[in-house]
């Protein structure tokens, strides 16, 4: 019974995610599902990205957290539309949650919608929300063993951001190993080593976004 219940939940979510995807396509919005463990730097990356690109494209953000509006408050200060979703005890966002949040946006007026998922290296990868692609963020402080420990995240993502490369001299993080392991799991993965603190490497990430938004 448990297997059937899980299958039913995933199936129902896929139906709603498909409806979201059609809505995004109809309005010409490129949608990213941004995933990572807590503290990897998703919100800081968003702050940097929004500040750099908000004058050349219309961007909206959906913030997912178990509790508080702390991240949405940070994004709101930048001047882009943001909706907070608090999941309570749930460890991920799903298609239904995103569908409800979309009522707060003028989708026809957006070029890019970024969904910052709940900090978790397991569940978010299992639930589509209607996004065009998933983007995984790994910080060097977490260790280079994470790709092999959590392969579904890497398998489901189109891009990998390796954040906090400025901390590599103070850790045992091996960038070559993390890159090789990531590409073993997903050979088509686009990988962007960068530092949100220093700005090193971040322009390549901006370029990737510009290219994908232009194709929507």
Q: Which residue has the tokens 């026809």?
A: 108
- CATH code of the domain containing 42: 3.40.50.300
Q: What are phi and psi of 83, to 5 degrees?
A: -125, 130
Name the band, by pLDDT with cuts 50, 70 and 90, for residue 181: very high
pLDDT over 70 for what percent of the chain?
A: 95
pLDDT of 134 higher than 90: yes
Look at residue 5 in the predicted model and tell me its pLDDT. 40
Give residue 216's pLDDT: 86
Task: Give percent of the chain above pLDDT 90.
Answer: 94
Number of structural domains found in the chain: 1
How high is the pLDDT of residue 11?
84
Answer yes or no: is pLDDT of 96 > 90.
yes
Beta-carbon contacts of residue 14 (< 8 Å; ≥ 6 apart): 95, 128
| CA dist., res. 167 & res. 180, Å (int) | 20
pLDDT higher for 198 or 11? 198
Instruction: List the beta strands (DSSP E) in 117-173.
Output: 133-139, 157-163
CB proximity list for 154: less than 8 A, separation 6 or greater: 136, 147, 160, 182, 185, 186, 189
Find the mean pLDDT for residues 44-59. 98
- The pTM assigned to this predicted structure is 0.94
SS3 assignment, position 39: coil
pLDDT band at residue 8, thresholds of 50, 70 and 90? low
- What pLDDT score does 36 carry? 97
d(C-alpha 94, C-alpha 91), whole Å: 10
pLDDT at residue 3 above 70? no
Q: Which residues contact 4 (CB under 8 A, 6 or more apart)?
A: none
Tokens 């579904």 sit at which residue?
152
170-177 average pLDDT score: 98
Q: What's the chain's average pLDDT?
A: 95
| Domain extent for 151 | 2-214
Long-range (24+ apart) CB contacts under 8 A made by 105-111 are 105/60, 105/81, 107/23, 107/24, 107/27, 107/29, 108/27, 108/28, 109/58, 110/27, 110/29, 110/58, 110/59, 110/60, 111/28, 111/29, 111/30, 111/57, 111/58, 111/59, 111/213, 111/216
- Which residue shows structure tokens 């065009």? 132
Burial 132-158 (b: 16+ CB within 10 A, else e): bebbbbbbbebebebbeebbebbebbb
138, pLDDT greater than 70: yes
Query: Is pLDDT above 80 for 9?
Result: no
Mean pLDDT of 180-184: 98
Mean pLDDT of 58-73: 96
* Measured distance CA(149)–CA(86) in Å, rounded: 27
pLDDT average, residue stretch 167-180 = 98
């Amino acid at each position: 019974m448990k297997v059937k219940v899980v299958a039913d939940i995933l199936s129902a979510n896929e139906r709603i995610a498909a409806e979201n995807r059609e809505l995004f396509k109809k309005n010409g919005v490129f949608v990213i599902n941004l995933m990572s463990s807590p503290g990897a730097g998703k919100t800081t990356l968003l702050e940097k990205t929004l500040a750099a690109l908000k004058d050349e494209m219309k961007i909206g953000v959906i913030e997912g957290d178990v509790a508080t509006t702390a991240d949405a408050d940070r994004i709101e200060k930048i001047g882009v539309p943001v909706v907070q979703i608090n999941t309570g005890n749930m460890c991920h966002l799903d298609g239904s949650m995103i569908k409800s949040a979309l009522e707060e946006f003028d989708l026809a007026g957006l070029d890019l919608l970024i969904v910052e998922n709940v900090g978790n290296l397991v569940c978010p990868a299992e639930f589509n929300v209607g996004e065009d692609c998933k983007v995984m963020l790994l910080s060097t402080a977490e260790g280079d063993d994470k790709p092999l420990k959590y392969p579904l995240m890497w398998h489901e993502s189109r891009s990998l951001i390796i954040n906090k490369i400025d901390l590599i001299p103070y850790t045992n993080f091996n960038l070559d190993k993390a890159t090789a392991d990531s590409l073993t799991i997903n050979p088509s993965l686009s990988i962007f080593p960068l530092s949100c603190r220093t700005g090193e490497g971040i322009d390549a990430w901006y370029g990737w976004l510009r290219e994908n938004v232009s194709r929507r």
